[in-house]
Amino acid sequence: MALRLGDTAPDFEADTTEGRIRFHDWIGDSWVVFYSHPADFTPVCTTELGETARLKAEFDKRNAKAIVLSVDSVEDHRAWSGDIEETQGSAVNFPIIADPDRKVSELYDMIHPGAGDTSTVRSVFVIDPNKKVRMTMTYPKSAGRNFAEILRVVDSIQLTDGHKVATPVNWQAGEDVIILPTLSDDEAREHFPDGWKELKPYLRVTRQPG
């Protein structure tokens, strides 16, 4: 059964390029971007892991960290990391999980049914410090992920967790947001003393709080 938003991310133990971990302990009090890639020594994945390494400072700003999985071995992961650094200009600075028995892949429903092999699809899970799944995305194997979008969603979730707002289409951090329609105008005045622009009673736009 596929994981749903709000589910507790399944815990597991696994070997990684940074040693053996228990996933929930490794998460600690951080946000996590956990994603899978089909196999080591593949072209699209090489670019994705290089981009993840380059974005470490952006993850750090959000109290987030990345962890990656494929069905290959730790030894293959370590050998491939040299190719990533050579071709992408960034050394891998996050753990890569080895999952040769597919236990974690099956736990997170990462195997593409009917695809003719046992490699993983490009799944993404954003997990909060309470170990809850807050976002999921699945890309086909042929399409590299958009990490700007992944970080944008983390920004949105973290903002809306702390304030009674939602983020509109194509929102970027710092742009105007929408006051939740569940708030009455009187309640909204308490939370947003600078006011808002009312386009419709259910569509009240205000400056990003904080």
Active site residues: 45
- Cβ–Cβ under 8 Å, residues 73 and 67: no
Which of 112, 162, 168, 179 has the alpha carbon at shortest distance from 141? 112
For the chain, the straight-line distance linking the first and the last C-alpha, in angstroms and rounded, comes to 38
Angle between helices 147-162 and 43-54 in degrees, nearest 10: 40
Is-contact 14 97, C-beta < 8 A? yes
Q: Which residues contact 182 (CB under 8 A, 6 or more apart)?
A: 164
